[in-house]
Copies of this chain bind each other. A is one copy, B any other.
């Protein structure tokens, strides 16, 4: 007998001790993982069912501080969310508003190209490339 394709096996990178994988958190993570278009909280609210908007925000906060989702700010509009944990930048099309992942070049310089003051401790680097995407260039 074949089990119905329940939407979600955990399938999540190492979770912190004591992290509660609730139905809501799983659903939010599933949408992020399956539709990698960097949805906003409102997008996620529409794409899920029986989750309040406040809980969407709670889940995103929980997933973000658990380290399995990154928050992306391309402009002043709603925050977007990204389940890609590999080093990458975000390309933001100023025409259509889409946000896509951009990988580093195969053998790009390995050290930070920025002259940080002595004593600075780097936690994360967020790079947003604004421009026009191939589809909008036509």
Contacts and interface: CB of A to CB of B under 8 A. Distances in A.
What copy number does this chain have within its complex?
Answer: 2
A8 interface: no
A7 interface: no
Contacts of A34: none
A84 B16 CA distance: 40
A127 B114 contact: yes
Contacts of A24: none
A118 B134 contact: yes
A120 to B, nearest CB: 6
Given A73-B73, A73-B76, A114 B103 contact: yes
Contacts of A75: 73
A109 B113 contact: yes
A119 B105 contact: no
B131 A121 contact: yes
